[in-house]
Protein backbone atom coordinates (compact mmCIF):
# COMPACT_ATOMS: atom_id res chain seq x y z
CA UNK A 1 0.00 0.00 0.00
CA UNK A 2 1.15 3.55 -0.60
CA UNK A 3 2.16 5.90 2.21
CA UNK A 4 3.89 9.22 2.67
CA UNK A 5 6.93 8.59 4.84
CA UNK A 6 9.79 10.65 6.18
CA UNK A 7 13.28 9.21 6.62
CA UNK A 8 14.97 11.63 9.06
CA UNK A 9 18.43 10.04 8.80
CA UNK A 10 18.48 10.43 5.00
CA UNK A 11 16.46 13.66 5.15
CA UNK A 12 13.95 12.43 2.59
CA UNK A 13 10.17 12.55 2.29
CA UNK A 14 8.66 10.17 -0.23
CA UNK A 15 5.62 8.34 -1.45
CA UNK A 16 6.59 4.76 -0.56
CA UNK A 17 5.18 1.27 -0.83
CA UNK A 18 4.71 -0.42 2.54
CA UNK A 19 3.23 -3.79 3.56
CA UNK A 20 -0.43 -3.64 4.57
CA UNK A 21 -0.80 -4.20 8.34
CA UNK A 22 -2.85 -7.14 9.69
CA UNK A 23 -4.84 -7.49 12.91
CA UNK A 24 -2.43 -8.54 15.67
CA UNK A 25 -4.65 -8.73 18.78
CA UNK A 26 -8.33 -9.55 19.42
CA UNK A 27 -9.00 -5.87 20.20
CA UNK A 28 -7.47 -4.60 16.96
CA UNK A 29 -9.47 -2.80 14.29
CA UNK A 30 -8.51 -2.35 10.63
CA UNK A 31 -9.34 0.97 9.01
CA UNK A 32 -9.48 2.10 5.42
CA UNK A 33 -8.22 5.66 5.56
CA UNK A 34 -10.62 8.17 3.96
CA UNK A 35 -9.21 11.60 4.79
CA UNK A 36 -5.95 12.87 6.26
CA UNK A 37 -5.57 16.51 7.31
CA UNK A 38 -2.32 18.36 6.69
CA UNK A 39 -1.11 20.81 9.33
CA UNK A 40 1.96 22.73 10.47
CA UNK A 41 3.16 19.74 12.48
CA UNK A 42 3.41 17.65 9.29
CA UNK A 43 5.30 20.43 7.55
CA UNK A 44 7.72 20.71 10.47
CA UNK A 45 8.30 16.94 10.48
CA UNK A 46 9.02 17.15 6.75
CA UNK A 47 11.52 19.94 7.50
CA UNK A 48 13.17 17.42 9.89
CA UNK A 49 12.57 19.64 12.94
CA UNK A 50 11.19 16.60 14.80
CA UNK A 51 9.46 13.32 14.01
CA UNK A 52 10.83 9.95 15.14
CA UNK A 53 10.33 6.62 13.34
CA UNK A 54 9.28 3.52 15.31
CA UNK A 55 12.28 1.66 16.74
CA UNK A 56 13.78 -0.64 14.12
CA UNK A 57 12.31 1.33 11.22
CA UNK A 58 14.13 4.05 9.27
CA UNK A 59 10.86 5.59 8.08
CA UNK A 60 7.98 7.29 9.81
CA UNK A 61 4.63 7.35 8.00
CA UNK A 62 3.29 10.83 8.76
CA UNK A 63 -0.28 12.11 9.24
CA UNK A 64 -2.11 12.42 12.56
CA UNK A 65 -5.42 14.10 11.64
CA UNK A 66 -7.52 11.34 10.12
CA UNK A 67 -10.88 9.81 9.33
CA UNK A 68 -11.22 6.11 8.59
CA UNK A 69 -13.84 3.47 7.93
CA UNK A 70 -13.73 0.22 9.90
CA UNK A 71 -13.24 -2.71 7.49
CA UNK A 72 -12.24 -5.54 9.85
CA UNK A 73 -12.50 -6.13 13.61
CA UNK A 74 -10.78 -8.51 16.05
CA UNK A 75 -12.68 -11.25 17.89
CA UNK A 76 -13.41 -9.25 21.06
CA UNK A 77 -13.96 -5.79 19.58
CA UNK A 78 -17.16 -4.27 21.00
CA UNK A 79 -16.85 -0.47 20.72
CA UNK A 80 -16.90 -0.29 16.91
CA UNK A 81 -18.29 -2.35 14.05
CA UNK A 82 -17.54 -2.80 10.36
CA UNK A 83 -18.74 0.22 8.38
CA UNK A 84 -18.35 2.70 11.26
CA UNK A 85 -16.62 5.99 10.55
CA UNK A 86 -13.95 6.65 13.16
CA UNK A 87 -11.42 9.29 14.13
CA UNK A 88 -8.47 7.66 15.91
CA UNK A 89 -6.69 9.35 18.79
CA UNK A 90 -3.10 10.39 18.21
CA UNK A 91 -1.21 10.04 21.48
CA UNK A 92 -0.50 6.63 23.06
CA UNK A 93 0.48 5.98 26.70
CA UNK A 94 4.01 5.46 27.99
CA UNK A 95 4.61 2.12 29.68
CA UNK A 96 5.87 3.33 33.05
CA UNK A 97 3.89 1.83 35.95
CA UNK A 98 4.25 5.04 37.94
CA UNK A 99 2.86 7.38 35.25
CA UNK A 100 -0.49 8.05 36.83
CA UNK A 101 -1.71 9.96 33.78
CA UNK A 102 -1.08 7.17 31.30
CA UNK A 103 -2.32 4.52 33.72
CA UNK A 104 -5.55 6.56 33.93
CA UNK A 105 -5.91 6.63 30.11
CA UNK A 106 -4.98 10.32 30.09
CA UNK A 107 -1.74 10.10 28.12
CA UNK A 108 -2.32 13.70 27.06
CA UNK A 109 -1.10 14.51 30.61
CA UNK A 110 1.81 11.99 30.48
CA UNK A 111 4.45 12.74 33.14
CA UNK A 112 7.40 10.85 31.69
CA UNK A 113 7.44 12.19 28.14
CA UNK A 114 7.80 8.62 26.88
CA UNK A 115 4.37 8.64 25.20
CA UNK A 116 4.22 7.92 21.49
CA UNK A 117 2.15 9.73 18.86
CA UNK A 118 0.84 8.33 15.59
CA UNK A 119 2.46 10.10 12.68
CA UNK A 120 4.76 12.13 14.94
CA UNK A 121 6.70 10.11 17.49
CA UNK A 122 7.68 6.43 17.22
CA UNK A 123 4.37 5.28 15.77
CA UNK A 124 3.33 5.29 12.11
CA UNK A 125 0.64 7.75 11.13
CA UNK A 126 -2.36 7.79 8.86
CA UNK A 127 -1.11 9.17 5.53
CA UNK A 128 -1.53 5.73 4.00
CA UNK A 129 -4.29 3.44 2.78
CA UNK A 130 -4.85 1.01 5.66
CA UNK A 131 -4.06 1.18 9.39
CA UNK A 132 -4.54 -1.22 12.29
CA UNK A 133 -5.09 0.07 15.79
CA UNK A 134 -6.65 -0.89 19.11
CA UNK A 135 -10.37 -0.20 19.42
CA UNK A 136 -9.78 1.79 22.58
CA UNK A 137 -8.32 4.63 20.48
CA UNK A 138 -11.29 4.81 18.10
CA UNK A 139 -13.96 7.51 18.25
CA UNK A 140 -17.07 6.79 16.23
CA UNK A 141 -18.38 9.68 14.12
CA UNK A 142 -21.96 9.98 12.79
CA UNK A 143 -22.31 9.48 9.01
CA UNK A 144 -23.77 12.98 8.72
CA UNK A 145 -20.32 14.38 9.58
CA UNK A 146 -18.52 12.38 6.85
CA UNK A 147 -17.39 15.45 4.90
CA UNK A 148 -16.13 17.47 7.86
CA UNK A 149 -15.02 14.82 10.39
CA UNK A 150 -11.39 15.43 9.48
CA UNK A 151 -11.78 18.58 11.62
CA UNK A 152 -12.39 16.55 14.81
CA UNK A 153 -8.71 16.14 15.72
CA UNK A 154 -7.77 19.83 15.39
CA UNK A 155 -11.00 20.72 17.23
CA UNK A 156 -9.92 18.63 20.23
CA UNK A 157 -7.34 21.33 20.99
CA UNK A 158 -10.11 23.86 21.62
CA UNK A 159 -12.30 21.35 23.42
CA UNK A 160 -9.63 20.43 25.93
CA UNK A 161 -8.82 24.12 26.45
CA UNK A 162 -12.49 24.98 27.00
CA UNK A 163 -12.94 22.24 29.56
CA UNK A 164 -10.03 23.67 31.53
CA UNK A 165 -11.32 27.25 31.13
CA UNK A 166 -14.62 26.09 32.66
CA UNK A 167 -12.71 24.46 35.50
CA UNK A 168 -10.80 27.68 36.19
CA UNK A 169 -13.91 29.86 35.96
CA UNK A 170 -15.68 27.72 38.52
CA UNK A 171 -13.68 29.68 41.07
CA UNK A 172 -15.92 32.67 40.29
CA UNK A 173 -19.16 31.98 42.22
CA UNK A 174 -21.28 34.24 39.96
CA UNK A 175 -19.97 32.34 36.98
CA UNK A 176 -20.43 28.80 38.29
CA UNK A 177 -21.97 26.79 35.47
CA UNK A 178 -25.62 25.94 36.17
CA UNK A 179 -24.88 22.58 34.57
CA UNK A 180 -21.50 21.06 33.74
CA UNK A 181 -19.93 22.55 30.64
CA UNK A 182 -22.63 25.18 30.14
CA UNK A 183 -21.60 28.82 30.55
CA UNK A 184 -23.88 31.48 31.92
CA UNK A 185 -23.70 34.80 30.13
CA UNK A 186 -21.06 36.51 32.24
CA UNK A 187 -17.27 36.44 32.27
CA UNK A 188 -17.70 35.44 28.66
CA UNK A 189 -15.54 37.72 26.52
CA UNK A 190 -12.94 35.78 24.60
CA UNK A 191 -10.15 36.69 22.21
CA UNK A 192 -8.78 34.12 19.77
CA UNK A 193 -5.28 34.83 18.49
CA UNK A 194 -4.93 33.58 14.93
CA UNK A 195 -7.37 32.60 12.18
CA UNK A 196 -5.89 29.25 11.11
CA UNK A 197 -7.89 26.03 11.56
CA UNK A 198 -7.13 25.78 15.29
CA UNK A 199 -8.14 29.40 15.85
CA UNK A 200 -11.31 29.27 13.75
CA UNK A 201 -12.44 25.96 15.28
CA UNK A 202 -11.69 27.46 18.70
CA UNK A 203 -13.81 30.51 17.82
CA UNK A 204 -16.70 28.21 16.85
CA UNK A 205 -16.37 26.27 20.11
CA UNK A 206 -16.34 29.53 22.09
CA UNK A 207 -19.44 30.77 20.23
CA UNK A 208 -21.28 27.53 20.97
CA UNK A 209 -20.33 28.02 24.63
CA UNK A 210 -21.90 31.49 24.37
CA UNK A 211 -18.74 33.58 24.53
CA UNK A 212 -18.66 37.00 22.88
CA UNK A 213 -15.71 36.12 20.64
CA UNK A 214 -13.11 38.30 18.90
CA UNK A 215 -10.64 36.80 16.42
CA UNK A 216 -7.40 38.80 16.16
CA UNK A 217 -5.43 38.07 13.01
CA UNK A 218 -3.07 39.76 10.60
CA UNK A 219 -4.87 40.23 7.27
CA UNK A 220 -7.11 43.28 6.94
CA UNK A 221 -10.84 42.56 6.51
CA UNK A 222 -12.69 41.69 4.41
CA UNK A 223 -11.10 38.38 3.52
CA UNK A 224 -12.37 34.77 3.49
CA UNK A 225 -11.42 34.25 7.15
CA UNK A 226 -13.02 37.48 8.35
CA UNK A 227 -16.19 36.54 6.45
CA UNK A 228 -16.22 33.18 8.18
CA UNK A 229 -15.69 34.82 11.58
CA UNK A 230 -18.62 37.19 10.99
CA UNK A 231 -20.77 34.27 9.79
CA UNK A 232 -20.46 32.53 13.16
CA UNK A 233 -21.40 35.70 15.03
CA UNK A 234 -17.87 36.54 16.17
CA UNK A 235 -15.91 39.75 15.50
CA UNK A 236 -12.83 39.89 13.30
CA UNK A 237 -10.11 42.37 14.30
CA UNK A 238 -7.05 42.84 12.10
CA UNK A 239 -3.72 43.46 13.80
CA UNK A 240 -2.79 45.50 10.72
CA UNK A 241 -5.53 47.97 11.67
CA UNK A 242 -5.99 47.69 15.46
CA UNK A 243 -3.12 47.59 17.95
CA UNK A 244 -3.27 45.25 20.93
CA UNK A 245 -4.42 48.21 23.09
CA UNK A 246 -7.17 49.06 20.59
CA UNK A 247 -8.24 45.42 20.59
CA UNK A 248 -8.47 45.55 24.39
CA UNK A 249 -10.55 48.72 24.15
CA UNK A 250 -13.04 46.99 21.88
CA UNK A 251 -13.30 43.80 23.93
CA UNK A 252 -13.67 45.20 27.45
CA UNK A 253 -12.61 42.86 30.25
CA UNK A 254 -10.74 40.12 28.40
CA UNK A 255 -11.95 37.02 30.27
CA UNK A 256 -10.30 34.46 28.00
CA UNK A 257 -7.46 34.55 25.50
CA UNK A 258 -7.15 31.43 23.33
CA UNK A 259 -3.79 31.55 21.59
CA UNK A 260 -3.62 29.69 18.26
CA UNK A 261 -0.71 31.27 16.42
CA UNK A 262 2.46 29.86 17.96
CA UNK A 263 3.73 33.45 17.96
CA UNK A 264 5.21 34.06 21.41
CA UNK A 265 5.91 37.77 20.94
CA UNK A 266 2.30 38.60 20.06
CA UNK A 267 1.07 36.33 22.86
CA UNK A 268 3.02 38.13 25.57
CA UNK A 269 1.88 41.51 24.19
CA UNK A 270 -1.73 40.38 24.49
CA UNK A 271 -1.07 38.91 27.93
CA UNK A 272 -0.47 42.50 29.08
CA UNK A 273 -4.13 43.32 28.39
CA UNK A 274 -5.64 40.10 29.79
CA UNK A 275 -8.58 41.09 31.99
CA UNK A 276 -9.29 40.77 35.69
CA UNK A 277 -9.84 37.09 36.60
CA UNK A 278 -8.81 36.29 33.04
CA UNK A 279 -7.54 33.00 31.66
CA UNK A 280 -4.83 32.85 28.99
CA UNK A 281 -4.44 29.55 27.12
CA UNK A 282 -1.45 28.68 25.00
CA UNK A 283 -1.95 26.05 22.27
CA UNK A 284 0.83 26.92 19.80
CA UNK A 285 4.34 25.50 19.73
CA UNK A 286 6.73 28.24 18.60
CA UNK A 287 9.97 27.46 16.84
CA UNK A 288 13.03 28.45 18.88
CA UNK A 289 14.05 31.90 17.71
CA UNK A 290 16.19 34.62 19.30
CA UNK A 291 15.07 35.80 22.78
CA UNK A 292 12.83 38.89 22.90
CA UNK A 293 12.17 41.48 25.59
CA UNK A 294 9.05 40.92 27.69
CA UNK A 295 7.71 43.30 30.36
CA UNK A 296 7.87 40.71 33.12
CA UNK A 297 7.11 43.14 35.99
CA UNK A 298 3.83 44.20 34.41
CA UNK A 299 2.81 40.63 33.56
CA UNK A 300 3.66 39.32 37.03
CA UNK A 301 1.94 42.25 38.79
CA UNK A 302 -1.22 41.67 36.77
CA UNK A 303 -1.12 37.91 37.25
CA UNK A 304 -1.26 38.52 41.02
CA UNK A 305 -3.43 41.61 41.29
CA UNK A 306 -5.94 40.39 38.68
CA UNK A 307 -6.09 36.71 39.71
CA UNK A 308 -5.01 35.62 36.27
CA UNK A 309 -4.41 32.02 35.19
CA UNK A 310 -2.03 31.20 32.34
CA UNK A 311 -1.79 27.63 31.09
CA UNK A 312 -0.74 25.56 28.13
CA UNK A 313 -2.61 22.57 26.76
CA UNK A 314 -1.86 19.68 24.40
CA UNK A 315 -4.52 17.35 23.02
CA UNK A 316 -6.25 15.06 23.87
CA UNK A 317 -8.07 12.27 25.71
CA UNK A 318 -11.14 10.25 24.76
CA UNK A 319 -13.62 12.56 26.45
CA UNK A 320 -12.22 15.50 24.49
CA UNK A 321 -12.65 13.66 21.18
CA UNK A 322 -16.26 12.95 22.14
CA UNK A 323 -16.81 16.62 22.96
CA UNK A 324 -15.31 17.57 19.58
CA UNK A 325 -17.58 15.17 17.67
CA UNK A 326 -20.64 16.52 19.49
CA UNK A 327 -19.67 20.16 18.92
CA UNK A 328 -18.80 19.59 15.26
CA UNK A 329 -22.38 18.35 14.88
CA UNK A 330 -23.63 21.56 16.50
CA UNK A 331 -21.38 23.69 14.26
CA UNK A 332 -22.70 22.02 11.11
CA UNK A 333 -26.28 22.63 12.22
CA UNK A 334 -25.69 26.29 13.06
CA UNK A 335 -23.21 27.25 10.33
CA UNK A 336 -23.12 24.55 7.62
CA UNK A 337 -21.44 26.76 5.00
CA UNK A 338 -18.84 28.15 7.41
CA UNK A 339 -17.81 24.68 8.59
CA UNK A 340 -17.49 23.42 5.02
CA UNK A 341 -15.41 26.46 4.09
CA UNK A 342 -12.78 25.49 6.65
CA UNK A 343 -11.77 22.69 4.27
CA UNK A 344 -10.18 24.62 1.44
CA UNK A 345 -8.83 21.77 -0.68
CA UNK A 346 -8.92 18.00 -1.20
CA UNK A 347 -6.01 16.36 -2.97
CA UNK A 348 -4.77 12.88 -3.90
CA UNK A 349 -1.85 11.46 -1.93
CA UNK A 350 0.40 12.10 -4.93
CA UNK A 351 0.07 15.85 -4.27
CA UNK A 352 1.90 15.49 -0.94
CA UNK A 353 4.90 17.56 -2.05
CA UNK A 354 2.83 20.67 -2.79
CA UNK A 355 0.97 20.31 0.51
CA UNK A 356 4.02 19.67 2.68
CA UNK A 357 6.66 21.85 1.02
CA UNK A 358 4.78 24.49 -0.96
CA UNK A 359 3.56 27.82 0.34
CA UNK A 360 0.89 27.14 3.00
CA UNK A 361 -2.43 28.20 1.50
CA UNK A 362 -6.10 28.06 2.46
CA UNK A 363 -7.32 26.93 5.87
CA UNK A 364 -7.41 23.12 6.14
CA UNK A 365 -6.13 21.06 3.24
CA UNK A 366 -6.94 17.37 3.14
CA UNK A 367 -5.56 14.31 1.38
CA UNK A 368 -8.56 12.20 0.33
CA UNK A 369 -8.21 8.55 -0.64
CB of 94 to Zn ion, least distance (A): 3
CB of 153 to Zn ion, least distance (A): 6
Nearer to Zn ion, 165 or 201 (CB): 201
Q: How many CB atoms lie within 10 A of CB 47?
A: 15
CB of 308 to Zn ion, least distance (A): 28
Cβ–Cβ under 8 Å, residues 83 and 69:
yes
| Rounded Cα distance, 326 and 141, in Å | 9
CB of 119 to Zn ion, least distance (A): 9
| Rounded Cα distance, 139 and 132, in Å | 14
CB of 262 to Zn ion, least distance (A): 12
* CA 174 to each of CA 15, 31, 171, 186, 279: distance values in angstroms, whole numbers, following the listed order: 56, 47, 9, 8, 16
Nearer to Zn ion, 97 or 297 (CB): 97
Cα-Cα-Cα-Cα torsion 153, 156, 158, 164, nearest 10 degrees, comes to: -160
Nearer to Zn ion, 117 or 323 (CB): 117
Sheet-wide strand order for 279-282 = 235-238, 212-217, 189-193, 256-259, 279-282, 309-312
Residues that bind Zn ion (CB under 5 A): 39, 41, 65, 94, 99, 102, 110, 112
Nearer to Zn ion, 100 or 326 (CB): 100
Q: How many CB atoms lie within 10 A of CB 264?
A: 19
Nearer to Zn ion, 76 or 112 (CB): 112
CB of 325 to Zn ion, least distance (A): 17
H or E stretch covering 325: helix 318-334
Nearer to Zn ion, 150 or 193 (CB): 150
Q: Phi and psi dihedrals of 227, rounded to 5?
A: -60, -40
Amino acid sequence: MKAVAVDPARRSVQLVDRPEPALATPTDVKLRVLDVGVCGTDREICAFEYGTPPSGDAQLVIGHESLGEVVEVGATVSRVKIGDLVVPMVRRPCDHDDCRACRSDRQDFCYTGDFTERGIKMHHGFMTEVVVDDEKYMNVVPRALRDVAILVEPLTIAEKALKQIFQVQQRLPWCAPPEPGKMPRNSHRAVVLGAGPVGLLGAMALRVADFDTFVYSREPAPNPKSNLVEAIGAHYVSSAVDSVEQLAGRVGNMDVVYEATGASGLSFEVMKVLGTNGVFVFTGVPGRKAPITVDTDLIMRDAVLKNQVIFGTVNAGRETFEDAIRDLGTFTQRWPAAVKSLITGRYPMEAYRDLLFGQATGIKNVISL
